[in-house]
Amino acid sequence: MDKFVIQGGARLEGQIATSGAKNSALPALAACLLTEEPVKLMRIPRVRDIRTMEKLLNHTGAQVDIQGGQVLVTSGRVARPEAPYDLVKTMRASSLVLGPLVARTGRARVSMPGGCAIGSRPINLHVAALELLGAQVTQSHGYVEAVAPDGLRGATVTFDRITVTGTEDVLMAAVLARGDTIIENAAREPEVGDLADLLAKMGAKIEGAGSSTIRVQGVGRLHGATHTIIADRIEAGTFLCAGAMTGGDLLITGCIPEHLRALIGKLQHAGADISEEPPDALRVRGGKLRAVDMTTEEYPGFATDLQAQYMSAMTQAEGISFITETIFENRFMHAQELMRMGANIRIEGRQAVVAGRTELTGSPVIASDLRASASLVLAALVARGETVIDRVYHIDRGYEKIETKLAQAGASIQRVT
């Protein structure tokens, strides 16, 4: 298993380029199942979760041609409308093929995702939404089986809690349903809007994506398209935190500042100097940071996927900060590892109380989930001495060449196998 060896203390200077968004590329790849024609996706990040989704598409019978960040998917015939356990167990987002498979073939057999480090991660809301569109869903032997022998029909779906992939799943089912669908309490994440843009290019009729109410007019079939994935706001936000913590002067290029308003506001309030450099860059110059409370919320609130990285930054801020995680039930694993590096953090249920500023010291630590691992990299960048992070495959799930990007901005970080 690969490890990262990081010598702390370097300021980050220069430029870092943002990759395409993993959480937009995943539903976009699943959407390719909705047509037998070729779909070309650009700016696909080469990360583990994407490779898992590509294997999943292959398993269904689709042809997947990968040229760097460009992926051409042709789902000419769906031989196996299923997502097997050995693929789903490594990536919960495999449930994104549920809606497209039922819409395209009238049936789907998808392994239940099983929990992961940050929580139980059920897909009950996905299932309930598909049942409203006329799918009959049973669950047995760890699999969800959905059938819609006479196709799906439009309905009004009201999510009783906001779910990002739940919204994406039912959106992809609705585009081929007979009649109109209204999705209420829909997720407003930019990745939902990006998926809707792709589906519209494929011939779908969608209004309101990005708002809480999405209207879909079902069509008979979709055709091929070419689409470039939006920038990864979580990767860009991770580098913003890195720049703020290391006191450097970092330009993050190829990002969408509009998607990072909540984080930018918090870091500016904490004392970081962040400016937009149109059309698609953010500049961050660190300085002395002050503690600022934060609560995660669905978009456009502060992203839960940036909570761990923000906690790392608050260990370097003067004062007490209260960080509240409202989306997942167990998303503070990084706190234990940060404490081993010298951070002063107290966990009280959904709230973490961080007392800064504490000097962190390099230590051997273990990555747990994707974003927790990113927060350990950030902490290691400012820690005194050497940090070795084990199980970096967690990081490789969602960050493209993070060590290369950080090293070329001045960090002392190496991957050792």
Angle between helix axes 307-315 and 261-269 (nearest 10 degrees) is 10
Q: Which runs of consecutive H residues, i.e. helices, occur in 38-97?
A: 48-60, 85-88
Give CA separation, 378 vs 34, 118, 311, 313, 411, in Å.
40, 19, 10, 8, 10
Q: Do residues 282 and 255 lie in contact, with contact meaning Cβ atoms separated by under 8 Å?
A: yes
Q: Which runs of consecutive H residues, i.e. helices, occur in 41-111?
A: 48-60, 85-88, 98-105
In the window 36-95, what residues touch ligand EPZ (CB under 6 A)? 92-93
Buried (b) or exposed (e) across 261-297, using 16+ Cβ within 10 A? ebbbebbeebbbebeeeeeebbbbbbeebbbbbbebe
Distance CA 331, CA 208 (A): 31
Does 124 bind ligand EPZ (CB under 6 A)? Our answer is yes
> What is the nearest approach in angstroms of ligand EPZ to the Cβ of residue 241?
15
Q: What is the dihedral of CA 35, 32, 227, 181, to 10 degrees?
A: 70
Among 302, 328, 332, 399, binds ligand EPZ (CB under 6 A): 328
**Binding flags for ligand EPZ, 362-381, as an x/- string (CB under 6 A):** --------xx----------
Does 340 bind ligand EPZ (CB under 6 A)? Our answer is no
- Select 181 or 363, whichever has its Cβ closest to ligand EPZ: 181
Among 45, 69, 166, 218, binds ligand EPZ (CB under 6 A): 166
The pair of structure tokens assigned to 39 is 């779909």
Rg (CA), the chain: 21
116 in catalytic set = yes
Local structure of 414: helix, strand or coil: strand
How many residues does the structure list for the chain? 417
Among 43, 48, 126, 334, binds ligand EPZ (CB under 6 A): 126
Q: Which runs of consecutive H residues, i.e. helices, occur in 293-390?
A: 307-315, 333-340, 370-382
Candidates 133-141, 160-168, 307-315, 375-383; binding stretch for ligand EPZ (CB under 6 A): 160-168
Does 165 bind ligand EPZ (CB under 6 A)? Our answer is yes
Among 161, 220, 348, 416, binds ligand EPZ (CB under 6 A): 161
- Select 52 or 315, whichever has its Cβ closest to ligand EPZ: 52
Does 193 bind ligand EPZ (CB under 6 A)? Our answer is no
- Select 170 or 251, whichever has its Cβ closest to ligand EPZ: 170
Does 305 bind ligand EPZ (CB under 6 A)? Our answer is yes
Candidates 12-20, 157-165, 209-217, 223-231; binding stretch for ligand EPZ (CB under 6 A): 157-165
Residues that bind ligand EPZ (CB under 6 A): 23, 26, 92-93, 119, 121-126, 161, 163-166, 304-305, 327-328, 370-371, 398
Q: Which of the residues are catalytic?
A: 116
